[in-house]
Amino acid sequence: QVQVVESGGGLVQAGGSLRLSCIVRGLHFAGSSMGWFRQAPGKEREGISCIDMSGGSWYADSVKGRFTISRDNAESTLYLQMNSLKPVDTAMYYCAAARYVGSYCSDKQSMYGAWGEGTQVTVSS
Protein backbone atom coordinates (compact mmCIF):
# COMPACT_ATOMS: atom_id res chain seq x y z
CA GLN A 1 0.00 0.00 0.00
CA VAL A 2 1.28 3.44 -0.96
CA GLN A 3 0.49 6.38 1.25
CA VAL A 4 1.08 10.00 0.25
CA VAL A 5 0.00 12.61 2.76
CA GLU A 6 0.41 16.37 2.37
CA SER A 7 0.27 18.89 5.16
CA GLY A 8 1.16 22.49 5.91
CA GLY A 9 -1.48 24.34 3.96
CA GLY A 10 -3.44 27.19 5.44
CA LEU A 11 -4.49 30.79 5.15
CA VAL A 12 -1.78 33.39 4.69
CA GLN A 13 -1.66 37.02 3.61
CA ALA A 14 -0.05 38.05 0.35
CA GLY A 15 3.70 38.25 0.74
CA GLY A 16 3.76 35.60 3.42
CA SER A 17 5.25 32.12 3.46
CA LEU A 18 4.19 28.54 3.99
CA ARG A 19 6.04 25.24 3.95
CA LEU A 20 4.23 22.19 2.66
CA SER A 21 5.29 18.69 3.63
CA CYS A 22 4.56 15.35 2.03
CA ILE A 23 5.19 12.09 3.86
CA VAL A 24 5.44 9.02 1.64
CA ARG A 25 5.09 5.39 2.69
CA GLY A 26 5.11 2.18 0.71
CA LEU A 27 7.45 3.02 -2.19
CA HIS A 28 11.13 3.53 -2.94
CA PHE A 29 11.15 7.21 -2.03
CA ALA A 30 14.90 7.85 -2.44
CA GLY A 31 14.91 6.54 -6.00
CA SER A 32 11.76 8.30 -7.15
CA SER A 33 11.19 11.73 -8.60
CA MET A 34 8.61 13.68 -6.64
CA GLY A 35 6.39 16.48 -7.82
CA TRP A 36 4.12 19.18 -6.54
CA PHE A 37 0.96 20.12 -8.42
CA ARG A 38 -1.82 22.57 -7.74
CA GLN A 39 -5.37 23.14 -8.87
CA ALA A 40 -7.18 26.43 -8.45
CA PRO A 41 -10.98 26.64 -8.59
CA GLY A 42 -12.19 26.39 -12.18
CA LYS A 43 -8.73 25.60 -13.54
CA GLU A 44 -6.86 22.48 -14.60
CA ARG A 45 -4.31 20.89 -12.32
CA GLU A 46 -0.82 22.09 -13.17
CA GLY A 47 2.67 20.95 -12.30
CA ILE A 48 4.63 23.54 -10.37
CA SER A 49 7.79 21.77 -9.24
CA CYS A 50 9.65 18.47 -9.33
CA ILE A 51 12.78 17.03 -7.75
CA ASP A 52 14.54 13.93 -9.01
CA MET A 53 16.44 11.23 -7.15
CA SER A 54 19.74 13.14 -7.38
CA GLY A 55 18.31 16.47 -6.25
CA GLY A 56 17.85 18.05 -9.65
CA SER A 57 14.79 20.25 -9.75
CA TRP A 58 12.34 21.93 -12.09
CA TYR A 59 9.97 24.83 -11.50
CA ALA A 60 7.10 26.30 -13.44
CA ASP A 61 7.72 29.88 -14.48
CA SER A 62 4.85 31.01 -12.30
CA VAL A 63 6.66 29.97 -9.11
CA LYS A 64 10.32 30.14 -10.08
CA GLY A 65 12.31 32.24 -7.65
CA ARG A 66 9.61 32.08 -5.00
CA PHE A 67 9.17 28.36 -4.30
CA THR A 68 11.86 25.85 -3.36
CA ILE A 69 11.44 22.09 -3.51
CA SER A 70 13.53 19.78 -1.35
CA ARG A 71 13.52 16.26 -0.01
CA ASP A 72 14.72 14.35 3.04
CA ASN A 73 15.30 10.79 1.92
CA ALA A 74 16.02 9.55 5.44
CA GLU A 75 12.53 10.65 6.46
CA SER A 76 10.83 9.92 3.11
CA THR A 77 9.52 13.45 3.12
CA LEU A 78 9.11 16.02 0.36
CA TYR A 79 8.90 19.74 1.04
CA LEU A 80 7.81 22.86 -0.79
CA GLN A 81 8.89 26.16 0.71
CA MET A 82 6.63 28.88 -0.63
CA ASN A 83 7.69 32.50 -0.21
CA SER A 84 6.28 35.79 -1.47
CA LEU A 85 2.89 34.19 -1.86
CA LYS A 86 0.33 35.82 -4.12
CA PRO A 87 -3.46 35.47 -4.27
CA VAL A 88 -3.01 33.64 -7.59
CA ASP A 89 -1.21 30.90 -5.64
CA THR A 90 -4.48 30.00 -3.96
CA ALA A 91 -5.15 26.36 -4.83
CA MET A 92 -5.27 22.82 -3.60
CA TYR A 93 -1.70 21.54 -3.59
CA TYR A 94 -0.94 17.91 -4.35
CA CYS A 95 2.14 15.78 -3.81
CA ALA A 96 2.87 13.00 -6.30
CA ALA A 97 5.43 10.22 -6.73
CA ALA A 98 6.72 9.00 -10.10
CA ARG A 99 5.56 5.60 -11.30
CA TYR A 100 9.05 4.28 -11.99
CA VAL A 101 12.25 4.43 -9.99
CA GLY A 102 14.96 6.34 -11.84
CA SER A 103 12.65 8.59 -13.86
CA TYR A 104 13.72 12.20 -14.19
CA CYS A 105 11.57 15.25 -13.60
CA SER A 106 8.60 15.95 -15.81
CA ASP A 107 5.44 18.01 -15.50
CA LYS A 108 3.45 15.29 -17.25
CA GLN A 109 0.85 14.04 -14.82
CA SER A 110 0.95 10.58 -16.37
CA MET A 111 4.48 10.14 -15.01
CA TYR A 112 3.17 10.10 -11.47
CA GLY A 113 1.47 7.05 -10.04
CA ALA A 114 0.81 7.90 -6.41
CA TRP A 115 -1.02 11.03 -5.33
CA GLY A 116 -1.95 12.61 -2.05
CA GLU A 117 -5.38 14.01 -1.32
CA GLY A 118 -4.10 17.57 -1.23
CA THR A 119 -3.69 20.43 1.19
CA GLN A 120 -5.41 23.77 0.72
CA VAL A 121 -3.42 26.98 0.39
CA THR A 122 -5.33 30.23 0.50
CA VAL A 123 -3.58 33.57 0.01
CA SER A 124 -5.54 36.67 0.89
CA SER A 125 -5.01 40.13 -0.59
Distance (Å, whole) CA 63 – CA 75? 25
Distance (Å, whole) CA 67 – CA 64? 6
Distance (Å, whole) CA 50 – CA 58? 5
Find residue 31's DSSP bridge partners.
none
What 3-state class would DSSP assign to 26?
coil
- Among left, alpha and beta (phi > 0; psi -120 to 50; other), residue 18 is beta
pLDDT tens profile 38-79? 999 999 999 999 999 999 999 999 999 999 999 999 999 999
User: 90 — phi, psi (to 5°)?
Assistant: -60, 120
pLDDT at 1 > cutoff 90? no
pLDDT tens profile 86-110? 999 999 999 999 999 999 999 899 9
* Mean pLDDT to the nearest integer, 5-21: 98
